Amino acid sequence: MSDRVLAYGGGVSSTAAAVLYENRIREMVFCDHGGDYPETYEYVKYMEKQGFPITVLKPNVQGFDNLPDYYEAKRCMPNRAWRDCTDKFKLRPQTKYYKQSGVTDIFIGFEAGEEKRVKSEFRFRAGIMASYPLIHDGVTREGCVEAIQKAGLKVPRRSCCWLCFNCNAAECRQMAVEHPNLWERRKRMKVESLRNSAERRYNVLPNFI
């Protein structure tokens, strides 16, 4: 049995990696940061029922085990420049687990065409070698979907955080329709973030709220 693990996100590409390289990994590690869509959490449970070995991690950031509550309490939003959301709620919990488990080799399920996403956070953090087999083998998004369907599995929705700064207008509209509770919470948090920023800058309440 391999000592390699798959950093699992519950989306299309990492699920395809789980299917295509099942014999080359010992487990799949999913970090439950509380910001994924309900469908993603349902799909992770679905994959567990299919027999895939999934280890679920919970972060602990200043006493918070989930990303939305943390940012709501801080009255701010995840920041594109800092990307502290990924660092605090995904990379650090995974790195800690890998160190404790003696993991030195991980698969990350970025698909062909996502070469710009390739980074080396784990390698510099803990002496862990990160590999990107889908990119190496030229597996595109279409190939990922095909692999999942060929394995007889349901195709998951794209995994992403509903608070993500990369959420575009179409995704926001979809969120408002499919998950109005999350959309309303996101809007409230955005308003509080703007209010907090203005208070810190001018020490007064902004007149546009």
Residues 95 and 12 placed together within one structural domain of the fold: yes
Task: Say whether pLDDT at 66 is over 80.
Answer: yes
DSSP 36: B
Residues 185 and 92 placed together within one structural domain of the fold: no
| Domain that includes residue 171, residue range | 167-209
Task: Say whether pLDDT at 204 is over 60.
Answer: no
- Cβ contact 134:147 at 8 Å: no
Q: How far apart are CA 161 and CA 83, in angstroms?
A: 13
pTM of the full predicted structure? Answer: 0.89
Q: What percent of the chain has pLDDT over 90?
A: 72
Q: Maximum Cα–Cα distance for the chain, whole Å?
A: 62
Residues 203 and 174 placed together within one structural domain of the fold: yes
Task: Say whether pLDDT at 209 is over 50.
Answer: no
Mean pLDDT across 132-159:
96
Number of domains in the chain: 2
pLDDT at 45: 97
